Amino acid sequence: MELLTAIAIGILFALGVFQLLRRNIIRSAIGLIILANAVNLFLLSTGAYISIEPAYVSDTTGVLSDALPQALILTAIVISMGGTAFVLSMLYIISARYKTSDMDEVDGLKN
């Protein structure tokens, strides 16, 4: 299960980075969202974490997992939600101004 989690997080990272580097600005924003989730999952896996037991308290093994990373994730989720909303609203303004979603055509800053 640990291996599976690690691989899943790795795939999420790869997907996120790949989308992030696309020219389409909407795709790259989606890449940002995927990356945010990958980072949060990574933080989750830093707490004590045993096999398929629930990540918080386990009745069967008696292991209490560390609650701090989960508190960190809660904060990080809220912040990344605000960040994502802000990114999308700026994206809306930019794509409305240039009538395109291709990053190469958003070139106002070059001059």
Binding site for other proteins (CB under 8 A): 20, 28, 32, 35-36, 39, 42-43, 46, 68-69, 72, 75-76, 79-80, 82-83, 86-87, 90-91, 93-94, 97, 106, 108-109
The minimum distance between CB 72 and other proteins, in angstroms, equals 6
Assign residue 51 a region (left: φ > 0; alpha: ψ between -120 and 50; beta: otherwise).
left
Taking phi first (over 0 means left), then psi (-120 to 50 degrees means alpha), and beta for anything else, what does residue 24 get?
beta
Structure-block tokens of residue 83 = 């960040």
CB of 109 to other proteins, least distance (A): 5
Residue with token string 């190469």 = 104
CB of 59 or CB of 107, closer to other proteins: 107
Q: Using alpha carbons, select from 77, 53, 73, 74 the residue that is nearest to residue 63.
A: 53
Give 32 or 55: the residue with its C-beta nearer to other proteins. 32
64 three-state secondary structure = strand
Min. distance of Cβ 91 from other proteins in angstroms?
Answer: 7
Closest approach of other proteins to the CB of residue 92, in Å? 10
Q: Residue 28: which H helix or E strand, with range?
A: helix 25-46
Closer of 15 and 72 to other proteins (Cβ) = 72
